[in-house]
């Protein structure tokens, strides 16, 4: 059994070995107080506590203020050993709730003693700035801005730079989660770019913390286009002009498309006008014009308000203008023009086309106008313009060539014819200052004398009442020329509805007459209508046709009718042809020509008298005019009577007591030459 002393010696030796082994294993470590390898157990029990102040302290030296106490974790190491909080040391914090320097106190405990004071910084929170500040909408006093927001922002502050005051102003606060602001400010100028800036903020403990400012650009809309109007209209288009709009960089021109059913941009222009040149005459279109501008940082285009206009191109030039004069009255006619919805402006100028004076504006359905407002006894030009209207825009076609006219103081045809004094020489009544050039006078005089014998000649201009005559009141037998006035009498008798053109007559032996005609080849008892009889007179100058009409309508009535015209009566049942002179025949033709225009059977007679047989006047003038004629001939006479529908119509009468029909053709040509010269004089040509 071991003694207590031996046991103690053995324990001490073991302890010494253990200490030596520990010293060897820790020889490379830093320690605050080394224990010698020879330390005894008693010495271990009485060693000094380790001082914590010489330890290693690992912690975050920077904290971000968030309104809460900051207690950064501290790792304490001493001699390579990580100490345990609460066992080896106590930790406390002070000045750790506000921005500034926070304090940490480490105090050793247990096997450790001493203390260590540490500090850390509490910094203001960092706020991420918003991005992509841009203009998204506007009007003349509003700028709408958008931006990309930040996650932790409690809101944003937005303002703009006042370049006049040279400062930032107009601060607006926008709530959390918003990324859009409608910046309304009556101080904003129309069509102006403004520099904007925005920053995010965060509120902690009643205090705001801000991000950096981010700049962008906003703009107000340009001004609304004003003063829009159409100028310089042409058949292919026009120019639209307007006042320059404040803030406009360019202008959009839009036109309504009936195909798409919307306004389509057709042009973008840099100036305050646009020329449209792809229209058709009289075409009508609606346009809208607006000013536009762009702004930095946005791919949007900002528009002013739209201004509308209805525009129309000019109609085609009026063509086919004609003028018919009846002394002081002029009837102007023209061809209809497509799209002339505004009607027509009828006007006159002097002979050179100057000093226009409007006579009237007539509706679009009209193609003629009658007036007494053109002064007499001087040449003028009458013209017509087609009018196109659309909205508030009115255009007129360009100047037409027009036609010259001359008006005259009104007299009756009969007064001119009756005032004529019979004379073998060629004389003029109501000449309005005109005299026949000697060469033309000689040509007509020679043509009349070449007929042989006596010639009753008259040419009466129906627009001026000018009469040129020779032996104009010398009477002779009518031959078949009497059939024209007798048909005219029959037409007036039929105006009340009975008889009619379809009323029938039976050809009898009492109607028979030789000479010209076709009915003489028919059998007695043949039934003919009045129209049939008229046709035989047109085509064959039928003598029996005249006799049948005389039986149906009566000679006495004819004499009364002829007398009412101012003509000498001479027809009877014993002399069924009567006598005639040039001036009386002229009166009859004046009535027939009027009947063409006003009578119940006017169109029918116009056609029939234009195709009568054997007219020397028609043959002499060729296809130059339409000639309404009734000629006649016997063994001793050859006559021709007519209305020549020239530009200025006239009556032409030639009665001769010699059979020389072909020579009447030269009379018509010589007379027409004088008539043309007469009107050249009247019109100042």
Per-residue model confidence as pLDDT tens digits over 72-94:
999 999 998 999 999 999 999 99
CATH number of the domain where residue 71 is located: 2.60.40
Whether 393 is in a domain gets the answer yes
Whether 33 is in a domain gets the answer no
Same domain for 149 and 114? no
Chosen domain end from 257, 281, 312: 312
Q: Is the pLDDT of residue 559 over 50?
A: yes
Average confidence (pLDDT) over 415-438: 97
Summarize pLDDT for 355-384 with one digit per residue, the tens.
999 999 999 999 999 999 999 989 999 999
Same domain for 375 and 465? no
Number of helices (H), then strands (E), in the chain: 12, 43
Chosen domain end from 312, 342, 374: 312
Same domain for 398 and 339? yes
Secondary structure, 3-state, 264-276: EEEEEECCCEEEE
- Tell me which of 141-145, 185-189, 276-280 is least confident: 185-189
Could you list the residue range(s) of the whole structural domain that residue 71 is in?
A: 50-124
pLDDT at 28: 33
Same domain for 117 and 173? no
Whether 6 is in a domain gets the answer no
Same domain for 510 and 659? yes
Nearest to 128 by CA among 154, 160, 151, 109: 151
Same domain for 624 and 551? yes
Whether 87 is in a domain gets the answer yes
Whether 419 is in a domain gets the answer no
Same domain for 302 and 172? no
Nearest to 545 by CA among 536, 554, 553, 556: 536
Residues with Cβ < 8 Å from 129, sequence gap 6 or more?
Answer: 150, 199, 200, 211, 212, 213, 214
CB atoms within 10 A of CB 519: 22
Summarize pLDDT for 305-349 with one digit per residue, the tens.
999 999 999 999 999 999 989 999 999 999 999 999 999 999 999
Whether 415 is in a domain gets the answer no
Same domain for 242 and 379? no
Same domain for 243 and 271? yes
Chosen domain end from 124, 143, 166: 124
Same domain for 299 and 433? no
CATH number of the domain where residue 402 is located: 2.60.40.10
Transcribe 198-220 into DSSP letters: EEEEEEETTEEEE---EEEEEEP
Phi, psi of 350 (to 5 degrees): -75, 180
Same domain for 453 and 591? yes
Whether 2 is in a domain gets the answer no
Whether 298 is in a domain gets the answer yes
pLDDT at 205: 85
CATH number of the domain where residue 624 is located: 3.40.710.10
Tokens encoding 620:
């002499």
Same domain for 370 and 518? no
Q: What rounded mean pLDDT belongs to the chain?
A: 91
Number of domains within the chain: 5
pTM: 0.71
């Amino acid at each position: 059994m071991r003694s207590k002393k031996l046991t103690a010696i053995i324990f001490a030796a073991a302890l010494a070995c253990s200490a030596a082994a520990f010293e060897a294993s820790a020889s490379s470590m830093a320690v605050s107080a080394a224990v010698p390898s020879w330390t005894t157990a008693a010495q271990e029990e009485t060693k000094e506590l380790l001082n914590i102040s010489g330890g290693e302290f690992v912690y975050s030296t920077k904290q971000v203020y968030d309104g809460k106490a900051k207690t950064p974790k501290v790792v304490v190491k001493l001699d390579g050993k990580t100490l345990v909080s609460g066992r080896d040391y106590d930790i406390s914090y002070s000045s750790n709730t506000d921005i500034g320097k926070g304090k940490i106190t480490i105090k050793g405990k247990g096997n450790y003693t001493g203390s260590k004071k540490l500090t850390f910084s509490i910094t203001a929170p960092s706020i991420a700035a918003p991005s992509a500040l841009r203009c998204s909408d506007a009007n003349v006093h509003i700028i709408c801005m958008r931006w990309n927001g930040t996650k932790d922002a409690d809101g944003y502050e937005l303002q703009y730079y006042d370049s006049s005051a040279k400062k930032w102003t107009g601060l607006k606060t926008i709530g959390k989660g918003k990324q859009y602001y409608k910046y309304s400010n009556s101080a904003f100028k129309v069509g102006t770019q403004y520099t904007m800036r925005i920053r995010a903020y965060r509120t902690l403990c009643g205090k705001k913390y801000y991000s950096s400012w981010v700049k962008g650009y906003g703009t107000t809309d340009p001004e609304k286009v004003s003063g829009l109007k159409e100028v310089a209209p042409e058949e292919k288009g026009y120019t639209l002009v307007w006042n320059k709009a404040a803030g406009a960089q360019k202008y959009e021109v839009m036109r309504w498309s009936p195909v798409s059913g919307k306004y389509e941009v057709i042009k973008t222009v840099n100036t305050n006008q646009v020329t449209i040149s792809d229209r058709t005459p009289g075409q009508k279109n609606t346009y809208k014009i607006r000013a536009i501008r762009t702004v930095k940082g946005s791919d949007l285009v900002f528009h002013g308000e739209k201004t509308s206009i209805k525009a129309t191109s000019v109609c085609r030039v009026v063509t086919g203008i004609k003028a018919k004069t009846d002394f002081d009255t002029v009837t102007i006619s023209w061809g209809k023009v497509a799209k002339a919805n505004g009607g027509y402006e009828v006007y006159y100028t002097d002979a050179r086309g100057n000093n226009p004076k409007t006579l009237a504006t007539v509706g679009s359905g009209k193609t003629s106008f009658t007036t007494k407002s053109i002064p007499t006894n001087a040449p003028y030009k009458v013209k017509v313009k087609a009018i196109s209207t659309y909205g508030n825009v009115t255009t007129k076609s360009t100047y037409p060539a027009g036609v010259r006219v001359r008006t005259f103081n009104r007299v009756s045809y009969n007064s001119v014819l009756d005032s004529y004094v019979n004379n073998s020489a060629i004389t003029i009544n109501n000449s309005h200052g005109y005299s026949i050039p000697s060469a033309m006078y000689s040509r007509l005089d020679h043509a009349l004398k070449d007929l042989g014998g006596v010639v009753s000649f008259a040419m009466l201009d129906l627009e001026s009442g000018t009469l040129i005559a020779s032996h104009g009141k010398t009477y002779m037998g009518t031959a078949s020329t009497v059939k024209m006035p007798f048909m005219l009498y029959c037409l007036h008798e039929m105006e009340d509805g009975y008889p009619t053109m379809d009323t029938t007559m039976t050809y009898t032996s009492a109607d028979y007459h030789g000479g010209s005609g076709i009915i003489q080849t028919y059998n007695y008892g043949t039934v003919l209508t009045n129209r049939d009889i008229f046709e035989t007179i047109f085509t064959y100058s039928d003598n029996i046709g005249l006799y049948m009409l005389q039986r149906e309508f009566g000679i006495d009535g004819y004499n009364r009718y002829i007398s009412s015209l101012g003509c000498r009566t001479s027809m009877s049942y014993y002399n069924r042809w009567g006598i005639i002179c040039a001036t009386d025949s002229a009166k009859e033709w004046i009535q027939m020509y009027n009947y063409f225009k006003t009578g119940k059977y006017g169109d029918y007679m116009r056609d029939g008298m234009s195709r009568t047989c054997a007219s020397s006047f028609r043959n002499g003038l060729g296809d130059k005019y339409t000639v309404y004629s009734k000629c006649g001939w016997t063994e001793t006479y050859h006559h021709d009577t007519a209305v020549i529908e020239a530009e200025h119509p006239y009556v032409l009468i030639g009665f001769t007591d010699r059979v020389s029909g072909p020579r009447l053709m030269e009379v018509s040509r010589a007379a027409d030459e004088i008539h043309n010269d007469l009107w050249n004089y009247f019109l100042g040509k």
